[in-house]
Amino acid sequence: MPEQDTRSEVFRRTRRFPSPPGRATIDDDRAVDVGWYDEHKVDGERVYLERFGRIPAPATLSDFIRTVQQIALESNGQIYGWRGQSDGSWGIHSGGMRRVMQPWVKPFPADQERHRQLFADIREQLGAPVAKKHEARGDDDWQLWWDMKTYHRYLLDEARLRGFDHHDGVQLCDLELLALLQHNGAATHLLDISRDVTTALWFASSDNPDKIGVVAAFDETGIGHLTAIAAKSIKFHELMDALQYPETQYPETKSTKPAVGWIPRSLTDRILAQRGLFILSSYADQPWGSVQVTGTYVWQGDIDANYVEPNEPRAFFVAIRPELKKEVFEAGRSGLFGVDPTSLFPDIVGFASANRSTQDVPLAP
């Protein structure tokens, strides 16, 4: 486990650009813990992670179950979904956000003119500049929002050009196509979460065995709902505008919240096996990520500007230490946990991956 005394317990943002229009000027760049876990007497030793503050760190699998039960009972409503990440130094971002943090890559010469025209059209439609070719962005850079929308216009256009927008004889809408792409490995702005906390725990434990992972819980009262009809009819960029700019709200979304949950139809066996659903969010600059939901770790400047309600967090975090990761792995390996790679990835790709050369041979029946 990392030595805690080598890390500062004051996480600060490094803003390279001014605040976006309509956002309060940030005078205090410290991240502060709102003390929710202590106030609600949530069990478990606390550990400090720069991204998440002081959060519960259950020692055993049974302690973990007790801790998440307490969080679910003490939260404002009920838990909408859970997400697991194996490295607690990562912020919680969609894969699409992570991808656009990287510099744009120059296309192959044969594709250059087509890409140039595509991005010219996107610039005109979005009214915002596209990132420079070699410019990497940090997660506190609000231009990520424009880059993310630009990237998705590109991704959807390329996928439809290749005929990937048809599945089982049905033409897919934007969100369905993104969900299908994501569960085949593409980076999209759909944030994967699960109704099943054990699925989130497995993802938090399945990699980086020597690092502390994190399980995040999203309270239902902080998340709007996107109906199947709305998801089918609204374009991706229209939905993003409706979330980011409430005054341009599209009535199809039926939500005034800056983050919405969407339960897709079972396009793949993986979505069904993982009890998967998605969160789509407007841009947020949080200590812990870019999802526009108030968590238990917030910027002091946002409190001072009345931008957040620190007494009413809607996102909660649990640390998964290496010792607990090992216990989860052993429980899964022995069949006691009920979650393993072949159950979460029940297609042939998942089966083959679970049986690659680096994997242990399972117990014989």
**pLDDT tens-digit readout, 174-198:** 999 998 888 888 999 999 999 889 8
pLDDT of residue 280: 93
Is 284 a member of any domain?
A: yes
pLDDT band of 211, cuts 50, 70, 90: very high
DSSP bridge pairs for 297? 33
Is 361 a member of any domain?
A: no
Is 168 a member of any domain?
A: yes
321 CB-near residues (< 8 Å, 6+ apart): 1, 47, 57, 59, 212
Q: Give whole-number Cα distances, 28 to 32, 35, 239, in Å.
A: 11, 19, 32
pLDDT of residue 24: 46
Is 187 a member of any domain?
A: yes
Yes or no: say if 30 and 299 are a contact pair by the CB < 8 Å rule: yes
**What's the burial of 305, exposed, middle or buried (CB within 10 Å: 0-12/13-18/19+)?**
middle
pLDDT of residue 33: 93
Q: Which pairs with CB-CB distance under 8 Å and at least 24 residues apart come from 248-252?
A: none
pLDDT of residue 331: 80
pLDDT band of 22, cuts 50, 70, 90: very low
- The token pair at 284 is 């947020």
- Domain containing 174: what range? 17-354
Yes or no: say if 252 and 233 are a contact pair by the CB < 8 Å rule: yes
CA-closest candidate to residue 50, choices 1, 99, 97, 6: 6
Is 133 a member of any domain?
A: yes
Is 363 a member of any domain?
A: no
pLDDT of residue 353: 54
Q: What percentage of the chain reaches a pLDDT higher than 90?
A: 38
Yes or no: say if 190 and 94 are a contact pair by the CB < 8 Å rule: yes
Segment (H or E) for 47: strand 45-49
User: What's this model's pTM, rounded to 2 decimal places?
Assistant: 0.80
Three-state DSSP at 134 gives: coil
Three-state DSSP at 332 gives: helix
Segment (H or E) for 351: helix 348-354
Identify residue 207 by its one-letter amino acid code. D
Three-state DSSP at 345 gives: coil
DSSP bridge pairs for 289? 92, 286
What is the rounded average pLDDT for all residues in the chain? 79
Is 219 a member of any domain?
A: yes
Q: What is the mean pLDDT of residues 255-266?
A: 79
DSSP bridge pairs for 193? 277
Query: What is the number of structural domains in the chain?
Result: 1
Top-ranked range on mean pLDDT: pick from 96-110, 232-246, 340-354: 232-246
Is 160 a member of any domain?
A: yes
What is the number of residues in the chain? 365
> Which of 102-111, 204-213, 307-316 has the weakest average pLDDT?
102-111
DSSP 275-291: TEEEEEE----BTTBS-
